[in-house]
């Protein structure tokens, strides 16, 4: 069966520091991959999606970037974090249109 | 883009009560999902229901695509049903560019 993992689960970083969140999917090949953010409150905002290696689409301009170096690996990065980057980051993959989420990474920028 | 509206935004019920959560969307869709976000933040898939009715234990969902709404029914609520319930539909027809979410219904079940 397919599984999705992301790490770290919790991260506290100072303003201006870099960020790297990693997500991997197992049990499937060539999945569509997604990064969402959930800020204070409860809405989920799509940040990036990828339909294949090296193919990244951005939904909103921001301080973040994404990369897909391998088929089942999706990385969210920042060179310099802002206070507004704090939030809950969720990686997801889709199969036949149905979306499945990882456990999430909670980022606090101080 | 497509708009998703959920109601009510907040709901407080006693254990054992039944509830109906609603999701309206502004354009035709070929996919709709319901999720439950538990207190730890995990998003759990409840239903993938582009149309028709599905049931899973105490939960059921109905989507009327022609009228652009979906309903989630929770019967005999338990405290573990507490959390936020989201519905989501594709940004576009193909769906490869992900789902757009409503703002959710925050459900609290009191013992």
pLDDT of residue B15: 98
Contact B57, B47 (CB under 8 A): no
**Whether the predicted pLDDT of B91 surpasses 90:** no
User: Are B98 and A59 within 8 A, CB to CB?
Assistant: yes
User: Are A46 and B41 within 8 A, CB to CB?
Assistant: no
Residue A110 near chain B (CB below 8 Å):
no
Long-range contacts of the stretch A44-47 (C-beta < 8 A, 24+)? A44/A90, A44/B86, A44/B88, A44/B101, A46/B91, A46/B97, A46/B98, A46/B99, A46/B100, A47/A76
**Whether the predicted pLDDT of A86 surpasses 90:** yes
All residues of chain A having their beta carbon less than 8 Å from the beta carbon of residue B95 are 94, 97
All residues of chain A having their beta carbon less than 8 Å from the beta carbon of residue B106 are 42
Segment B44-88, tens digit of pLDDT: 999 999 999 999 999 999 999 999 999 999 999 999 999 999 999
């Amino acid at each position: 069966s397919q599984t999705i993992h992301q790490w770290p689960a919790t991260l506290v970083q100072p303003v201006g520091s870099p960020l790297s969140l990693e997500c991997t999917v197992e049990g499937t090949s060539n999945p569509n991959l997604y990064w969402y953010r959930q800020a204070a409150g409860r809405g989920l905002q799509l940040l990036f999606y990828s339909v294949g290696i090296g193919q990244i689409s951005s939904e909103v301009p921001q301080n973040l970037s994404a990369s897909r170096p391998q088929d089942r690996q999706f990385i969210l990065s920042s060179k310099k974090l802002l206070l507004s980057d704090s939030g809950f980051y969720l990686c997801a993959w889709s199969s036949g249109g149905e979306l499945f989420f990882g456990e999430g990474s909670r980022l606090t920028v101080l | 883009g497509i708009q998703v509206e959920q109601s009510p935004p907040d709901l407080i019920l006693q254990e054992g009560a039944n509830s109906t959560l609603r999701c309206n969307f502004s354009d035709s869709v070929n996919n709709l999902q319901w999720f439950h976000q538990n207190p730890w933040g995990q998003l759990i898939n409840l239903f993938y229901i582009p149309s028709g009715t599905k049931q899973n234990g105490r939960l059921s969902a109905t989507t009327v695509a022609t009228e652009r709404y979906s309903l989630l029914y929770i019967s005999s609520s338990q405290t573990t049903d507490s959390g936020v319930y989201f519905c989501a539909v594709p940004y576009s027809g193909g769906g490869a560019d992900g789902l757009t979410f409503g703002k959710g219904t925050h459900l609290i079940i009191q013992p």
